[in-house]
Amino acid sequence: MRHAKTPPVTSPAAAEPAKTGRRDKATHSGTCQVCGALQKLPAGVLSQHGYTRKWGFFNGVCNGAGYKPFEVSFDRVQLAVDWARGDVARLQGLIADLRIAPVMDKAPFYTYDRNGRAGYYEVEVTVTLEKNPPHPTNPNISYDAIVLTEIGGRNDGKRHYGNQYGLFRSVEDSVKKLRESRISRIERGIEERERYIAWQEGRIRNWKPGKLTPVKEAA
């Protein structure tokens, strides 16, 4: 997934359901207003397609599907920009909440499911310090371990040892580090959305109708 991402969010320009149009054979392709991908135009509107990974935060079917291409119209662009601005505010609120929340024994944790189909996912964990007997001949060597236990989800109760994630000291220190890691992921999500907004605003600044791309017939 390139880098760690924020949790899935509602797609941009989702104020209306995408119109599918008739299944006429496409003679031309055009550029999606929402994601910028080049797609065929059955019945003059964009065919159904997924989001490009270029922006890194879209999920599911693109809401530019079923609408006119960018070469003809940019009526969906402002909706997408408004969505992105709103999501920046939402993510900034998440960061503020994480920074003022009291440090307890729970924290957000981002990990990879090596034995299942979840891939990378984020889950809340309980953070505990597992006390173990010290080294038999050197009492200064401790085998105590930070343990992260997943709460809910498909891997409820799964344990992770903190030393694999640079967590060695105390529950408080580990919770703070996990929160800072979460904040860093959210900040990357904000940067992605801000890049998207700048890209969209640049596209429409001097917009003019463009030529569609003819579809080549298969040999």
Give 102-138 pLDDT, tens digit per residue: 989 999 999 988 776 668 899 999 999 998 887 788 8
C-alpha atoms less than 13 angstroms from C-alpha of 130 in its C-beta half-sphere: 15
Buried b (16+ CB within 10 A) or exposed e, 181-194: bbbebbebbbebbe
pTM: 0.79
C-alpha atoms less than 13 angstroms from C-alpha of 154 in its C-beta half-sphere: 12
* pLDDT of amino acid 194: 96
Mean pLDDT, rounded, for 95-101: 94
Mean pLDDT, rounded, for 145-155: 93
CB atoms inside a 10 Å sphere around CB 70: 23
In the predicted model, is pLDDT for residue 3 greater than 80? no
Judge whether 201 and 81 are in contact, CB under 8 Å: yes
> What are the CA-CA distances from residue 209 to residues 13, 67, 70, 206, 212 (Å)?
21, 15, 8, 10, 9
DSSP string, 99-153: HHS---SEEEEEEEESSSS-EEEEEEEEEEEE-----SS-TTS---EEEEEE-SS
* pLDDT of amino acid 214: 93
Give the tens place of pLDDT for each residue, 57-89. Answer: 666 789 899 999 999 999 999 999 999 999 999
Q: List the beta strands (DSSP E) in the chain.
A: 28-31, 38-40, 106-113, 119-130, 145-150, 159-161, 213-214
Token pair recorded at residue 15: 């104020």
Lowest mean pLDDT among 19-23, 88-92, 135-139, 153-157: 19-23
Give the tens place of pLDDT for each residue, 165-197. Answer: 988 879 999 999 999 999 999 999 999 999 999
